[in-house]
Structure 1
Amino acid sequence: MRVGTLDSFAITQAMDCSAQGGIVPEIETAEDARSAVAAARYPPLGRRSIMPCLPQLMFRPAPPVDAMKAVNAAAMVISMIEGPRALDAVEEIAAVDGLDMLLVGANDLSNTLGLPGQLDHPDVKAGFQRVTDACKANNIYFGVGGMGHHPELAKEMIAMGARYATAGADVTFMTKAAIANALKFD
Structure 2
Amino acid sequence: MPHGAGTPTWGKLMTADRQFDLKARLRDDGPGLACWLMLGSTAVTEIMARAGYDAVMIDMEHGPMGFSEATEMLRALNGFDVAPLARIPANDPVYLKRILDTGVTGVMVPAVQSAADARQAVASCRYPPDGHRGLAATVVRATGHGAFWQEYLAGVAERLTLICQIESPEGLTAVEEIAGVDGVDMLFVGPFDLSAQLGYLGQPDHPEVQKAVQRIERAAKAAGKLLGGIATPERGPERLIQAGYDLLIANSDVAHLRAGADASIAQFRDLKAKHAPG
Moved more, 53-62 or 161-170: 53-62
Larger radius of gyration: 2
CA distance in 2 between counterparts of 1:133 and 1:71 reads 28
Match of 1:10 in 2: 95
Match of 2:122 in 1: 37
Q: Choose from 220, 244, 251 the match for 1:161.
A: 244
Q: In the TM superposition, what are the counterparts of 1:22-171 in structure 2 within 5 Å? A: 22-50=107-135, 51-59=137-145, 61-62=147-148, 64=150, 66-145=151-230, 147=231, 149-150=232-233, 152-171=235-254
Contact 1:45 1:97 in 2 (8 A): no
Q: CA deviation at 1:49?
A: 2.6
Give the letter for the 1:116 counterpart: L
Contact 1:24 1:80 in 2 (8 A): yes
- Alignment identity in percent? 35
Q: Give unpaired runs (5+ residues) of structure 2.
A: 1-85, 270-278
Give the letter for the 1:150 counterpart: P
Contact 1:6 1:36 in 2 (8 A): yes
Q: CA deviation at 1:10?
A: 0.8
Q: CA deviation at 1:29?
A: 0.5
Q: Does 1:174 align with 2:257?
A: yes
CA distance in 1 between counterparts of 2:118 and 2:111 reads 9
Q: CA deviation at 1:179?
A: 3.7
Higher relative contact order (CA 8 A, sep 6+): 2
Cα gap change, 1:183/1:15 in structure 2, threshold over 3 Å: closer, same or farther?
A: same
CA distance in 1 between counterparts of 2:148 and 2:264 reads 48
CA distance in 2 between counterparts of 1:69 and 1:160 reads 35
What CA deviation, in whole Å up to 9, does each residue of 1:150-182 have, x standing for no partner? Answer: 264443332221111211211221232234345
Q: CA deviation at 1:138?
A: 1.5
CA distance in 1 between counterparts of 2:183 and 2:144 reads 24
Moved more, 50-59 or 87-96: 50-59
Contact 1:22 1:40 in 2 (8 A): no
Contact 1:45 1:98 in 2 (8 A): no
CA distance in 2 between counterparts of 1:98 and 1:111 reads 29
CA distance in 2 between counterparts of 1:61 and 1:78 reads 28
Cα gap change, 1:71/1:53 in structure 2, threshold over 3 Å: closer, same or farther?
A: farther
State the Cα RMSD in Å.
Answer: 2.1
What CA deviation, in whole Å up to 9, does each residue of 1:62-96 have, x standing for no partner? Answer: 363x4223222221111110011101000110111
CA distance in 2 between counterparts of 1:179 and 1:130 reads 37
